[in-house]
Structure 1
Amino acid sequence: MVRVPDLSNIIKAYDVRGVVPDELSPAVARAVGEAFAAAVVVPEGGARVVVGQDMRDSGPALVEAFAEGVTSQGVDVVRIGSCSTDGLYFASGSLDAPGAMFTASHNPARYNGIKLCRAGARPVGQETGLAQVRELAEGLLDGAGQATRAPQTGQAGQVGDVDVLGEYAAFLRGLVDISGVRPLKVVVDAGNGMAGLTVPAVLGTAAGLPGLPLEVVPLYFELDGTFPNHEANPLEPANLVDLQAAVVAHEADIGLAFDGDADRCFVVDERGGAVSPSAVTALVGMREIDRERAAGRTATIIHNLITSRAVPDLLGAAEARLVRTRVGHSFIKQSMAEQDAVFGGEHSAHYYFRDFWFADTGMLAALHVLAALGGQSHPLSALAEMYTPYSASGEINSTVTDAAGVVERVREAYTRAYPEAVVDTLDGMTVTHWDGLHPQWWFNLRASNTEPLLRLNVEAADEDIMIKVRDDVLSLVREENV
């Protein structure tokens, strides 16, 4: 009997990601390419797949192998070269073709991965095709991770190259016009990731577009998948330190930080303070609500369950229709399309737009923030304060051996102490003590999909309440002998 490899450790809920070459080798990439073409592309009538890659050294070999797998099924491959993930989504949308982005986002250099999408940048997750891709790919490999059968004998697909960077930049510029804003000094930390390519194209003149009233101060724009300066993960506060210092030193109006594949954007105000992604969600959401209202429509806004209560409070007061979803881009994208939502935001700084095929793009969110800041005279700190009325803990991880048991212990303790609190299990467990109740607080506990961790997020009406709830929940989570 042939031993079939288990790819479940690298093909997760939303994408493919693993250490190269131990987990994600060229042979595995080829199998995934063949499986993607056979299970998703061909059944849906697709004739080509758009493929892009970030700046990691392992990318070219993996792309070549993936392309071999795709073309073995008679499907063409259109390579767009180095790009951001939202650049790949742009190509998938504008060319109406399925896509594959080779990136491990913010993960260290030894990792790489594949983000797959259908034509029009529609998501491929475990429940929407990725499980079938994994099963088929496993059958194409032996126990040693090598191909188990000869290449297809039918007509192979062709491989070609297309440059879409200029079209991508022009498209985004056309969605948000910042040519008339007041002059702004902007420090951008690309983290040696793909923003080093996309920022000069969109905010500068590298793509042949007219200049903007922006003075861009670049940090770490050199494309380098070894991340020599800091990890390209702005969600970790340590990775924002250089940007915060540079904003203050240059007396800049705003700082922008992008992750490795530049699909997430984080914002720093003129004092060097981090602006929460929830505040950005509320700010951009208000702009999209105004635009929908001007067109005679009621805006639908998507937010995940651990964004700040300020998002539904403020946007609901503006008469938007709010839809709360699970955490994760495949869930958000699916909900965006189903609800025809104009905008969606996550706590992790993923921002989704109907005008961008319901996909996430940090660059478009950045343009909205620059337009909002440059369209009025107040500093960013004052503008952001309007959208940050509550106190939040941020995400806190705890290592546990029995996540379900820990969550149940916390549930029992809190439902006993606060019988009026509302408990829901849309994603992990959320306990809410808010509407018409005092003190006002909520928290969410979610188990990691990949590690023995519980993730805690707490928010309250003021900092004292938040600290008390945070510490009480953590004491239950981290209690010994669980």
Structure 2
Amino acid sequence: MIVTDPSDAPRRLPSVDLSAFIKAYDVRGTVPDQLDAGVVRAIGAAFADVVVLPEAPEGQPPRAVIGHDMRPSSPELSRAFADGLASRGVDVTLIGLCSTDGLYFASGFLGIPGAMFTASHNPAQYNGIKMCRAGAKPVGQDSGLSAIRDLAQSRLDAGTLPEETGSIGEVDEQDLLKAYAQHLRTLVDLTGSRRLKVVIDAGNGMGGFTAPAVLGDDAGLPALPLDVVPMYFELDGTFPNHEANPLDPANLVDLQAAVPEHGADIGLAFDGDADRCFVIDEKGDPVSPSAVTAMVARREIAKEIRAGREPVVIHNLITSRAVPEIIAADGGTPVRTRVGHSFIKERMAEVGAVFGGEHSAHYYFREFWSADTGMLAAMHVLAALAEQDRPLSELAAEYEKYVASGEINSTVQDAAATTERVVAAVRETAAAEGEELEVDRLDGVTVLHPASERQPMWWFNLRASNTEPLLRLNAEGADEATMVAVRDRVLALVRGA
């Protein structure tokens, strides 16, 4: 047992503007000018007051769990956060190195709130905090994060932490890696699968820690019929090989070359905190996250139907139109939602969804407390591939019905005005051609042209960034030529060409 006495730590706190780096979903700032031990201690104390203490079961001591990634600053910052919690009378369990979904597992498994220290795919000078309530329920801007920010800011402005609650929480350590790996293996059984060769690019992030435990035997579990070829498994928060951000195609180049070079069946790439997973087929070509969403949805829908339940699957509005079509064809109910994990998780709870997927390669599972886990999604893809004899490229083709542009950013002075100008111009053109368009504003603006006698199906979405003067375009068409025509037309309008 480690007993922490926050009174031994400096009581004076630094002055900093928390609104500059506490955003809609998490904390994400540079070290040490925005995030240092004093700032994090104040955030930890505020997390205790806003989330942990009000949620503590009656008659039981308040508890929280903390994990961290491989960034050099993560151990110190997670300890400072624990000090802040302990100063408010909260007992803290430190699980040390883990992936973000490992922290979500710990929160669900232990039934207590949690905090993960990571800046995900951001460069080395960044760190951050992802917080959750008991059972991995999200803490976002409208579900506690704003209150945590404001309370911590008031204390930072005053220069000191509040007086202790009268009892100092205890801090202990627990290793949950094996329990995390065991839980995932109960959800997808790979033991009887045909043998697969898998190249995994961990990007020097936490995938290099969790993959050997879940897909290998490092946690003491039986070996699976997988031959794993590791790439950049060494934990290094300076990211010496490439950024741990597989959403950028430049960071997939090494894996795309390695898969055919090794004669592998599949490649997997994880981001820095290993909560997202990207898939590469045997030819070295990416499998879109939309195709992965549809592939996993098909498996989860079948499982729900076998259990006699009505399957509901969430997808965000940027995923391919093929996703809701496949969900419906397989007997499920597709539910469309905004982009972002807090919206996905809230909607999953509202409609009792079994699964949810996003275009950014975040995948959410009811059996995983409705939290996102890249590793479980990867296991589903491995199982789907192993259960049949075709190569992944042929399997994935079933789910790649349309052609997408990917996300394209444009710098604009007035995102709202630019968006309205684009919509007006596109509507005018469609009206002149006698075509019908559907427009909705669930998240930004989505313009859909259903398939007609004159034109095939196409759609585009324009969304403004919350933090930068950027307008984000996603477009999709029934074929390459249609998508390119829509993409180029909208970009020309956005950029004033």
Task: Give the TM interval when normalised to the shorter protein.
Answer: over 0.9
The aligned residue for residue 310 of structure 1 is 322
The structural deviation recorded for 1:147 is 3.4
Given the alignment of the two structures, is residue 329 of structure 1 paired with residue 360 of structure 2, yes or no?
no
Matched, 1:33 2:48: no
Partner of 1:263: 275
Aligned letter for 1:292?
Answer: E
Query: Compared with structure 1, are the counterparts of its residues 149 and 123 closer, same or farther at alpha carbon in structure 2 (3 Å cutoff)?
Result: closer
Maintained 8 Å contact 1:4/1:139: no
Tell me, which stretches of 5 or more residues in structure 1 are unaligned?
A: none
| Shift, 1:149, TM fit | 4.1
Do 1:31 and 1:147's aligned partners in 2 also have CA atoms closer than 8 Å?
no
Correspondence for 1:7 among 18, 28, 31: 18
Aligned residues: 476
Q: Which runs of 5+ in 2 are unaligned?
A: 1-12
Aligned to 1:290: 302
Match of 2:485 among 443, 468, 478: 468
Corresponding residue number in structure 2 for 1:428 = 444
Residue pairs, 1:276-287, within 5 angstroms = 276-287=288-299
Identify the residue that residue 172 of structure 2 maps to in structure 1: 160
The Cα shift of 1:425 comes to: 0.9
Offset of residue 256 of structure 1: 0.2
1:125 maps to which residue? Answer: 140
Question: Does structure 1 retain, via aligned residues, the 8 Å contact 2:14–2:39?
Answer: no
- Alpha-carbon displacement from aligned partner over 1:82-127 (angstroms, at most 9, x marks no partner): 0000000000000000000000000000000000000000001101
Deviations 1:35-85 (A, max 9, x none): 111011111226111000000001111111111111111111110000000
The answer on 1:362 being equivalent to 2:374 is: yes
- Match for 1:432: what amino acid? L
Q: Corresponding residue for 1:234?
A: 246
SS at 1:394's partner residue?
coil
* Aligned pair partner of 1:189 in 201, 209, 213: 201
Distance 2:184 2:469 in 1: 40
Q: Report the equivalent of 1:50.
A: 65
1:79-478 paired onto structure 2 within 5 Å: 79-142=94-157, 147-149=159-161, 151-152=163-164, 154-419=166-431, 420-434=436-450, 438-478=455-495
Q: Could you tell me how far apart the structure 1 residues matched to 2:187 and 2:155 are?
A: 43
Task: Tell me which amino acid in the other structure corresponds to 1:211.
Answer: A
> Aligned partners of 2:36 and 2:419: how far apart in 1?
37
2:94 aligned with 1:65? no
For residues 205-239 of structure 1, the C-alpha deviation after alignment (integer angstroms, 9 at most, x for no partner) is: 00111111110000000000000000000011010
Where 1:226 maps in the other structure, the secondary structure is: coil
1:267-318, CA deviations, whole angstroms, 9 ceiling, x for partnerless residues?
0000000000000000000000111111111210000000000000111111
Identity %: 67
User: Any conservation in 2 of the 1:29–1:62 contact (CA below 8 Å)?
Assistant: yes
Shift of 1:27: 1.4
Q: What is the Cα-based RMSD across aligned positions, in Å?
A: 1.5
Instruction: Tell me if the contact between 1:442 and 1:459 (Cα under 8 Å) persists in the aligned partners.
Output: yes
- Secondary structure of the 1:432 match is strand
The answer to whether the 8 A contact 1:104-1:112 is kept is yes
The Cα of 1:16 is off from its aligned counterpart by: 0.4
Runs of 4+ in structure 1 displaced over 4 angstroms? Answer: 2-5
Q: Could you state the TM-score of these two structures normalised by the residue count of structure 1? A: 0.97
Classify the secondary structure of the residue corresponding to 1:212: coil
- Aligned counterparts of 1:3 and 1:237: Cα–Cα separation in 2: 39
**Shift in Å at residue 243 of structure 1?**
0.4
